[in-house]
Structure 1
Amino acid sequence: MTRDIVRIWTLIHKWASLICTAFLLMLCLTGLPLVFHDEIDRALNHAPNIVATPGQRLLNDDQVLDIALRARPGEVPLFMSFDVDRPVINVTTGPRADAPESLMHFAPIDQTSGRIVAATGAGGVMDVVLRIHKDMFLGLPGLLFLGVMGALFVAAIVSGLVIYTPFMRKIDFGTVRASRSTRLKWLDYHNLLGVVTAAWVTVVGLTGVINTLSEPILAVWRADQLAAMTAPYKDKPPPIRRSSIAAAIATAQAAAPGMRVQFVAFPGGAFSSKHHYAVFLQGATPATKRLPTPALVDAETGRLTAIRRMPWYAQGLLLSQPLHFGDYGGLPLKILWALLDIVTIIVTASGLYLWLSKKKAA
């Protein structure tokens, strides 16, 4: 590798790192508690422990939906989701079918009693941390901006590996020249920790970039696959009367044996059409749980009209989300993710220190 090429890669590493450093530190610091979001949710959650006794008759989906709508007069159903560890159905309503998230109301309903209970999410501080990490409260512009920062971070990783290669010829791998100056010692720590965690930070960086593209990716899915699945209903007026939501869910499950319902999108929303219940089904394995399959059921007749797996680009997004937070291997993997996150903070902070100390010396 010629000296000019090394100089170019050094400039890429320097400026890519400097531009994204502040945002990378923010993402690492907010990402650390988000790795343990399930555990924090359970610790901060004060919802009652609801258990159905053997043989107890539970309220069905239609009865739960009726309770939710009576509690919110004038609103329409938007989504229905199902707790895995307790007999609770969550109904999201809003003033209209295309209501923004800020106008939605979330109601967890106990199937054993029909009462509206507390949600299992922690809310409060964790919601704020998630929004900061996700888009800095800026919506789509914030998402895309953090995506650019993530791309610069990946560029900094690749360029750092390139310029570390000739450095390796001078000293043994893992050498830390602790007896020399403080700056030289931290340079060795920065290089060593950066190389050791390079594979992990590349995966987390790339999945983070993919996650920032969630809204454009879902928009493409709606314009492409969802539009094709609902094309025969394009010019039909919305149904005046809707069929049973419980029957629609049963119809969808019958078409995909062995799968369970993840959530239901009601007619008129972004995940369905004006004429369909969109029943999203998921598998039982760690991978298939992350890959919902939408089944469209005619909201007027209750007839299944289409069922199709999500396209590759949507599957890539759905698989990158749990991989980004280490959210698929239990607590041991989360602890490993947290330790690597802390190492990344050290690498980032040491890089900033090296640049500031060099600038001061100059």
Structure 2
Amino acid sequence: MTLKTKAFRFFYKAHIYLGLFVAVHFIFLSISGSILLFKEEVEGSVHETVAVPAEQTSMSYSTLLSDVLKKFPGERPLAVFKDDEHENIVNVRLGMNDSKMFRGARKLMFDSRTGAELNAEAGKSSFMDWMLKLHREFFLGSYGKMYVGFIGLLYFFVMLSGFFIYGNFAKKVAFGEVRIKSPRHWFSDMHRYIGIGVFAWGLIIGATGFFLGISSTLIKVYQYQELKEINQQYKDIHGDNDHAHNASVLDQVIKTSGQALPNAKVDYIAMPDTQFSPPNHFLVVMVGNTPQTERMTQLVVVDAATGTQGEVRELPWYMKITLASEPLHFGNYGGLFLKIVWLGFSIFSLLLPIFGLVIWYKRKKATQVKGVSMETRKLSDSLLFKNRFAIPLVLFVVTAVMIIGAFILGGTFAMASGYILLIPLILTGAVVLRGKRGKS
């Protein structure tokens, strides 16, 4: 037995048994994920504020946070950051009872133009929250989140093994040829063709789902490694002075961060001496201010006593991947257009575990039947795919629309995902050129 044959048997068996394990999980994840794609549209714009003059500028962050601390005395400011979807919304996190931990923190939301407090819970859907808990953790808390991440990793492997298996069948059958003499053969061929169509998308979903599932663990790794090093570096500066409640220098911190990274903008400010910042120093997360650099993240450490002396640090690679995983996983960085594309891929991928379960069930029954005639195994042109170029043509149209949409939306991040999804088109084109009709 050659090494190639052994590898094929390994991937074939692994694909079957791991696929059966992943199948039921993925059905729930695919359905819940498809619904969550439109979470924002279902809940609507929940942060509507009163109209303000066009010339109205944002109020000082220092003033805003000072007012908040007067309203909630005894609570520790943990973070200040802008809302992802609404430019004029500022979020504030407060540690109750002077806690440094973000878990259980008070969540506040303000209009940056007027300083008016907004209702962070307004418009939220209990149904969507239920779906999110199902999709993210199967209602099992932090352990469930890691379990879902493990399912994502297995799904990634199942897609890879399926691609390896597909290469063996592609040598015998012209692409677009589906056997209709037997329901089991029809389901098998459709399973393979749909699988190759959503292959690249499936790898993205599996990999990003894995990183999101273990994100809490990665954050702990960051805390105990990178953040511990930062804390050691700055722990003795300014002695034991408590600058955690120093809101007056917040505007200067923003200015200093901008000077440290002129081509970036402030995305998130961790206040001094919290779970995610060193003693007596702000930790500012900066992102690029252009569509091409908006997902590039860097850190600036700023002195809390003076608001100066910024030092630029890089996030570790695993944190960068984790931060990029959420928009890629949910397709929520390209507006409604990309969400619809993601929904299409999600629906087609949902057929894979369903067809896989049918194949497994019918295969068990088929093994009990002997002497299958050559006529049964004869390949026939599918009623659905009489033209063997039909599927490549559909993939070409979908991919072309995605790439055009990516250019319209702008941003290297959007275009990169469009080009990644071009992979199935290239692969299927190669299969068409090399395809051979099976022997009758």
TM-score by length of 1: 0.88
Amino acid at match of 1:162: F
Q: Distance in 2 between matches of 1:26 and 1:223?
A: 35
Partners of 1:30 and 1:129 within 8 A in 2 = yes
- 1:48 Cα deviation from its structure 2 partner: 2.3
> Secondary structure of 2:285's partner?
strand
The residue number in structure 1 matching 2:242 is 239
Larger radius of gyration: 2
Q: Distance in 1 between matches of 2:113 and 2:333?
A: 30
Q: Distance in 1 between matches of 2:138 and 2:272?
A: 31
> Secondary structure of 1:89's partner?
strand
The residue number in structure 2 matching 1:72 is 72
Structure 1 residue 269 corresponds to structure 2 residue 270: no
The residue number in structure 2 matching 1:282 is 287
Q: Distance in 1 between matches of 2:58 and 2:202?
A: 46
Note the alpha carbon deviations across 1:256-298, whole angstroms, 9 max, x for none: 2232211211123222123222121211233532233221222
Structure 1 residue 60 corresponds to structure 2 residue 60: yes
Structure 1 residue 196 corresponds to structure 2 residue 194: no
Partners of 1:52 and 1:87 within 8 A in 2 = no
Q: Distance in 1 between matches of 2:16 and 2:241?
A: 57
Q: Distance in 2 between matches of 1:38 and 1:260?
A: 25
Give ranges in structure 1 of 5+ residues lacking alignment: none
**Residues 1:304 and 1:325: Cα distance change in structure 2 (over 3 Å):** same
Structure 1 residue 228 corresponds to structure 2 residue 229: yes
Q: How does 1:325-340 map to 2 (within 5 A)?
A: 325-340=330-345
Partners of 2:79 and 2:268 within 8 A in 1 = yes
The residue number in structure 2 matching 1:126 is 128
Give the paired residue count.
358
Q: Distance in 1 between matches of 2:102 and 2:322?
A: 22
Q: How does 1:79-90 map to 2 (within 5 A)?
A: 79-83=79-83, 85-90=86-91
Q: Distance in 2 between matches of 1:146 and 1:74?
A: 38
Amino acid at match of 2:19: S
Q: Distance in 2 between matches of 1:37 and 1:8?
A: 40
**Residues 1:276 and 1:67: Cα distance change in structure 2 (over 3 Å):** same
After TM superposition, the structure 1 stretch with the greater mean CA deviation from structure 2, 229-238 or 87-96, is 229-238
Q: Distance in 2 between matches of 1:77 and 1:150?
A: 36
- 1:170 Cα deviation from its structure 2 partner: 3.2
- 1:4 Cα deviation from its structure 2 partner: 5.1
Partners of 1:239 and 1:299 within 8 A in 2 = no
Partners of 1:93 and 1:105 within 8 A in 2 = yes
Partners of 1:26 and 1:133 within 8 A in 2 = yes
- 1:327 Cα deviation from its structure 2 partner: 3.0
Q: Distance in 2 between matches of 1:328 and 1:56?
A: 28
> Secondary structure of 1:290's partner?
coil
Partners of 1:252 and 1:304 within 8 A in 2 = no
Q: Distance in 1 between matches of 2:19 and 2:356?
A: 8
**Residues 1:321 and 1:63: Cα distance change in structure 2 (over 3 Å):** same
- 1:123 Cα deviation from its structure 2 partner: 5.0
Sequence identity of aligned pairs in percent? Answer: 30
> Secondary structure of 1:288's partner?
coil
Partners of 1:51 and 1:87 within 8 A in 2 = no
The residue number in structure 1 matching 2:186 is 185
Amino acid at match of 2:90: I
**Residues 1:87 and 1:331: Cα distance change in structure 2 (over 3 Å):** closer
Q: Distance in 2 between matches of 1:298 and 1:131?
A: 39
> Secondary structure of 2:117's partner?
coil
Q: Distance in 2 between matches of 1:164 and 1:124?
A: 42
The residue number in structure 1 matching 2:33 is 31
Partners of 2:79 and 2:270 within 8 A in 1 = yes
Note the alpha carbon deviations across 1:50-73, whole angstroms, 9 max, x for none: 454244354311221133233434
Partners of 2:288 and 2:294 within 8 A in 1 = yes
Alignment RMSD (CA, Å)? 2.6
Q: Distance in 2 between matches of 1:281 and 1:124?
A: 33
Give ranges in structure 2 of 5+ residues lacking alignment: 369-440
The residue number in structure 2 matching 1:309 is 314
**Residues 1:270 and 1:184: Cα distance change in structure 2 (over 3 Å):** same
**Residues 1:153 and 1:111: Cα distance change in structure 2 (over 3 Å):** closer
Partners of 1:176 and 1:189 within 8 A in 2 = yes
